[in-house]
Amino acid sequence: MARFSSSLSAVVSSGLVYTRRRCSPLVAPAALFRALSYEVRPLQKRRRGATLSSLFPRTAVAFGLTATAGDVISDDRVSASGHYQYNRLLPCPSQNRPPRVEHLVVSEGGPVLEYICKELDLPPLYVADLIDFGAVYYALVCPTPPPSATQEQVEIFKRVTAPSILQKRSSIKGKTVREAQKTFRITRSDEFVETGTYLRVHVHPKRFPRCYEVDWKSRIIAVTETYVVLDKPAATSVGGTTDNIVESCANFATRALGLESPLLTTHQIDNCTEGCVVLSRSKDFCSYFHGLIREKKVNKLYLALAAAPVPVGIISHYMRPVNMAPRLVSEDLIDRWHLCQLEVLQCEEIPWPNAEIERRYSIEDCGWPSKHVAYECTIKLLTGKTHQIRAQLAAIGAPIVGDSMYMPAVIREKEDPKVNPFGRSRNPHAAEDDGGGSAVLEWIAQHGKEPAAAIGLQAFQISWDDDTCLYNSGAPWWR
């Protein structure tokens, strides 16, 4: 959610409200967008004062905590009233909280930590942790509300971005409104934010408890003067997320090796995928490796554990150009959709992982009807798109074991082939509006959530410079 428009379109609802603090006559009232993807109540009047506020209960979710030596002790529990008791972000909880993103417009300039604490009623140490995690963003000018915004929300946005207001702000002179609406991370708790600054606070950042369970030194495949090759464990992020840059493979590998400069990401694989990842020790190598990827001089081989047999040879699809999961693909060319190709080099029948292995690696039971045999496929990526292997194998009826996002859709399509507007049995007119027609939305709804742990997918080999540099990961979890 790097941008305001895309972030709010991804949540169920948002609300613009007046704040109760320090609104000067020459400054428009502060705007507060509250975005929770669970229960949202309508705007209500406060009992105190004449301002408006949207009231949002904190969903009560109890969870255990896992701590390691040196972690800050936390009392991050749910109170009797059902509200979270915020203390620190560490130790890392074993489960993620419901998403909570707060959108603010500063009504009086001052230190960012102090302002967020007062507006959101959060303790200073918790807000400081959020800033350290990279979970707080700012823009000089409030971004444009999404199309779903109410008339009241639009009116408040117009007030805080009125030309008469913006002309008084020296910080945006020489910038276009679009330039001033660009968001950046807050990196220091003592940063000063002036009146009118927009803030986005990810109060519940996505967490990765697996980071604290891994022996990171044992996952290092190679260390050179310019790069490090890591055997990435599943249920971890390569370089972090929008709201969490601390709990990442790059950060923990840097610590494990005792490096002074942080490792940089050169490419990505899904959080639920394990295997080879190249991390750069310098910006120069990062640029060099990116160039190799653009020129398709980096070769990647994957092992995929499919729930059904996969034909050997090149498989081609076209992927919908929407940067949001699930990724939809079609065998037929659709205007502006991206070509996706992979080559299946080998497909071997093997036993389905037993219950003990699935329990050990937290593999999700996605309801596949037959669990006697699975199919281990060696796959060469010919193009590199997000979720490509997962989406393409699902499209041919062979979803990856444990893939809770794509396997449910395959099961549903077997029950009713016409539910997939891009499938072979589709209604010829169902996919005409590929941007979001009712048939497309219904097909998206058949997909599940992103896996929380491992799936049957491993990036087992990566090579470049005509195989001068070639590295293999360890055995996949299912062996």
pLDDT tens-digit readout, 44-63: 222 222 222 232 223 222 22
CA 272 to chain centre: 12
C-alpha R_g of the chain: 24
* Of residues 382, 367, 392, the one with CA closest to residue 311: 392
User: What does the pLDDT average to over 271-296?
Assistant: 97
* Of residues 280, 273, 51, 35, the one with CA closest to residue 156: 51
Tell me the catalytic residues. 270
Tokens of residue 208, six digits? 């990765």
Is 221 in contact with 278 (CB distance < 8 Å)?
no
- At 429 the pLDDT is 59
- At 67 the pLDDT is 33
pLDDT at 396 over 70: yes
Q: How confident is the model at residue 150 (pLDDT cuts 50, 70, 90)?
A: confident
Q: What are the tens digits of pLDDT across the range 321-362?
A: 999 999 999 999 999 999 999 999 999 999 999 999 999 999
- At 58 the pLDDT is 30
Tokens of residue 334, six digits? 């659709």
Is 114 in contact with 100 (CB distance < 8 Å)?
no
pLDDT at 8 over 60: no
Superfamily of domain 210-295: Pseudouridine synthase (3.30.2350.10)
389 DSSP β-pair partners: none
Q: What percentage of the chain carries pLDDT values higher than 70?
A: 81
Q: Report the predicted TM-score, pTM, of the whole model to 2 decimal places.
A: 0.81
- Please give the Cα distance from 374 to 400 (Å, whole number): 9
pLDDT at 254 over 80: yes
- Please give the Cα distance from 317 to 338 (Å, whole number): 8
Tokens of residue 149, six digits? 């915004």
- At 85 the pLDDT is 81
- Please give the Cα distance from 226 to 242 (Å, whole number): 26
State the CB neighbour count (10 A cutoff) for residue 395. 26
- At 153 the pLDDT is 80
Q: What percentage of the chain carries pLDDT values higher than 90?
A: 75
Minimum mean pLDDT range among 69-83, 227-241, 374-388: 69-83
Q: What are the tens digits of pLDDT across the range 10-43?
A: 332 333 333 333 333 222 333 333 332 323 322 2
User: What does the pLDDT average to over 296-311?
Assistant: 97
Tokens of residue 198, six digits? 């927009």
Q: How confident is the model at residue 152 (pLDDT cuts 50, 70, 90)?
A: confident
- At 111 the pLDDT is 97
pLDDT at 304 over 80: yes
The H-or-E segment that residue 300 falls in is: strand 299-306
Q: How confident is the model at residue 272 (pLDDT cuts 50, 70, 90)?
A: very high
Is 330 in contact with 428 (CB distance < 8 Å)?
no
- At 83 the pLDDT is 61
State the CB neighbour count (10 A cutoff) for residue 67. 13
Measured over all CA atoms, what is the biggest interatomic distance in the chain, rounded to whole angstroms?
Answer: 73
- At 156 the pLDDT is 82
Q: Which residues contact 11 (CB under 8 A, 6 or more apart)?
A: 35, 36, 37, 99, 101
- At 123 the pLDDT is 96
pLDDT at 401 over 50: yes
Q: What are the tens digits of pLDDT across the range 85-116?
A: 899 999 999 889 999 999 999 999 999 999 99
Q: What are the tens digits of pLDDT across the range 127-145?
A: 999 999 999 999 999 999 8
Q: Show me where the domains of the chain are located.
A: 4-202, 210-295, 301-445
Indicate the pairing of strand 65-66 with strand 52-54: unpaired
